[in-house]
Amino acid sequence: MLCVTEGTLEELPGQLFAINAPKMRAFVNRWTLQTVAAHFRYLGPTEGKAKLASGEERQQFGFKLHAQDACNVVYAMWRFDPESKLVVSVKSNPSQHTSAECGNKGYRDIKPFQDYPVPLLRSGDGHWLRAEMHGALLRVSVDDATVWDGQVGKEIVELNGPVGIRSDNTRLEIELQAGQSYGPQPHYVFGCTSAVEPD
């Protein structure tokens, strides 16, 4: 089940969702493995635009992993514009847990062991984007081809949080799949609250 904490997701037939908001943030509020995949169709930029807290303006879509709270999370983002590339970043502020405390501090981009170019998008294009973490190792693929492979840092493994999705200034139709976890898990259901939503 998806908890939307900013923007909107429109439900479509066939377990699809439409994203039309300049900023959309959501997470899966049931415990899963740190594996998430989405088949999306790119429909171009949104009519209105929203800037990031840094002042930058991007079109992008991607995943959140180990999203413990607003200050501690891993991002795997496919940036569509102004430059097409896959970027993995960690937001780490161990002693802070709300946006009011950390703002946009604590971000660092992670250099992969290897990475490859992502496709250039045109309106109407469809692709599979997938991210999978095993411990500190993260692999991101597009259409089953690896585009990013690396280690995000051992401290990230200690974060206790769900997977989720994020988009900025991009219209999409998506089908989301999150890896199911077997056996009992702590905090099996996450409350639907912006307190656990990173920006």
199 part of a folded domain? no
Taking only the tens place, the pLDDT of each residue in 40-69 is: 999 999 999 999 888 889 999 999 999 988
196 part of a folded domain? no
What's the domain range around 167? 2-184
Structure tokens at 165: 């999705």
Q: Quick one: pLDDT at residue 156?
A: 84
Structure tokens at 97: 């847990």
* Predicted TM-score of the model (pTM): 0.90
| Section 79-103 average pLDDT | 92
Taking only the tens place, the pLDDT of each residue in 106-117 is: 999 999 999 999
**Residue 129 C-alpha from the chain's centroid:** 11
| Mean pLDDT across the chain | 89
197 part of a folded domain? no
189 part of a folded domain? no
Q: Quick one: pLDDT at residue 181?
A: 53
CATH of the domain at 110: 2.60.120.560
Structure tokens at 68: 């413990």
Pairwise CA distance, residues 123 & 96, whole Å: 39
Structure tokens at 127: 């692709």
Confidence of residue 121 (pLDDT cuts 50, 70, 90): very high
Three-class HEC string of the chain: CEEEEECCCEEECCCEEEECCCEEEEEECECEEEEEEEEEEEEEECCCCCCCCCCCCCEEEEEEEEEEECCEEEEEEEEEECCCEEEEEEECCCCCCCHHHHCCCCEEECCCCEECCCCCCCCCCEEEEEEEEECCEEEEEECCEEEEEEECCHHHHHCCCCCEEEEECEEEEEEEEEEECCCCCCCCECCCCHHHCCC
| Section 132-141 average pLDDT | 96
Residue 127 burial by Cβ neighbours in a 10 Å radius (0-12, 13-18, 19+): middle
19 part of a folded domain? yes
193 part of a folded domain? no
**What percent of the chain has a predicted confidence (pLDDT) above 70?**
90
Q: Quick one: pLDDT at residue 148?
A: 98
Taking only the tens place, the pLDDT of each residue in 137-186 is: 999 999 999 999 999 988 888 888 899 999 999 999 999 998 765 444 55
Structure tokens at 102: 């950390």
Higher pLDDT, 89 or 14: 89
Confidence of residue 191 (pLDDT cuts 50, 70, 90): low
Total count of domains within the chain:
1
Pairwise CA distance, residues 171 & 59, whole Å: 9
Pairwise CA distance, residues 75 & 51, whole Å: 18
Confidence of residue 197 (pLDDT cuts 50, 70, 90): very low
72 part of a folded domain? yes
Confidence of residue 193 (pLDDT cuts 50, 70, 90): low
65 part of a folded domain? yes
How many Å from the N-terminal Cα to the C-terminal Cα in the chain?
20
Residue 29, pLDDT > 90, answer no
